[in-house]
Amino acid sequence: MMAKTALQRSTSTKPRPALRLVGTKDLPREDWLEVRKRGIGSSDAAAAVGLNPYKSQLELWLEKTGRDENLPKTDPQDEDSPAYWGNILEPIVAAHYSRRTGNKVRRINAVLQHPHPGLSWMLANIDREVIGADDVQILECKTAGINGARLWKEGVPEYVQLQVQHQLAVTGKVAADVAVLLGGQHLEIHRISRDEALIGRLIQLEQAFWRYVETDTPPPADGSESAELALRCLYPADCGETLDFSQDRQLSATFADLVNVRQSLADLEKQEAQFKQTIQQAMGDASKATFETGEVTWKKAKDSVALDTKRLLQDQPDLLQQYATTRTGSRRFLIQ
């Protein structure tokens, strides 16, 4: 009831400006990451409500509860990482936004916090504040490479829209511009206005996720690769115990559905192989074939040179001891 009251008050009264939780200008990255664990940040919003294509609720829960030590970490200095180039290009995107729109922007250098005590878990990092404009107050800078650009074909992706609405909720502002650099050479600017109905629903869903964190209860897995990774990190090894779920109707039904789906997939894979082989047999040694609805190619890959490790170790067995490394074993899920 308290949470609902906080939500009603936060959306029915005039929004108040955000609180400055902590300054970030000289804050080490490790400390900044610790601050983020104290609440749901704007970049967490889509994952918290299960709508981030890259991160599941379960993976986010691992991060917020300090169980993410075995999760792969993004190296901020890794030049092959999209995050690295996003940070490098952010000031360039901001500068070109100002050049195109005439709006002046400045850094905030702080983690912001929702001003309502009941929503103090809502945090936000703002790329830039827009100065002196009546119609827009926030600038969110984005970059997208060749693969990521496809998500912007129909405008701002849903997960970014949720990020911005979260920022508007925390700051009390009325609108934000999203400036995105696509493919390193095409800049688009999208306006996102404050949506009170969406913000209200977003707060409810984020609150439900934060309850998982507060009660130390893992949210349900969603079938994504992110959830698969999170489960492997959460339960990396088995203890040898056997659990009897035969009287649990829900789990027994889930197991039966899994078996049926596995069989359906096996049947479909066999059917796919037969269709492919029929076309291959008709192509013979041709490189390409066209059809009414598409085309296929069947080409030989270039020869490659590989190291014959088996023969090498037979000739020089001492190398195994000299260069041996241990690979951590992982759990295998087998249906019997």
Distances (CA, A) of 98 to 17, 64, 124, 143, 190: 24, 35, 22, 16, 14
pLDDT at residue 3 tops 70: no
| Cα distance between residue 74 and residue 116, in whole Å | 33
CATH number for region 2-233: 3.90.320.10
CB 192 within 8 A of CB 175: yes
The percentage of residues in the chain with a pLDDT greater than 70, rounded to a whole number, is: 96
Burial class (CB in 10 A: 0-12, 13-18, 19+), 51: middle
pLDDT-derived band of residue 18, with 50, 70 and 90 as boundaries?
confident
Interstrand relation of 294-297 and 288-291 (parallel, antiparallel or unpaired): antiparallel
- Give residue-wise pLDDT tens across range 228-256: 999 999 999 999 999 999 999 999 999 99
Whether the full predicted model's pTM is greater than 0.85, yes or no, is no
Q: Tokens 């009603």 identify what position?
A: 8
- Give residue-wise pLDDT tens across range 263-289: 999 999 999 999 999 999 999 999 999
| Cα distance between residue 190 and residue 180, in whole Å | 8
Q: What is the pLDDT of residue 71?
A: 84
Q: What is the pLDDT of residue 55?
A: 95
Distances (CA, A) of 236 to 15, 101, 185, 232, 334: 45, 51, 43, 5, 16
Q: Where are the domains of the chain?
A: 2-233, 249-299+308-322
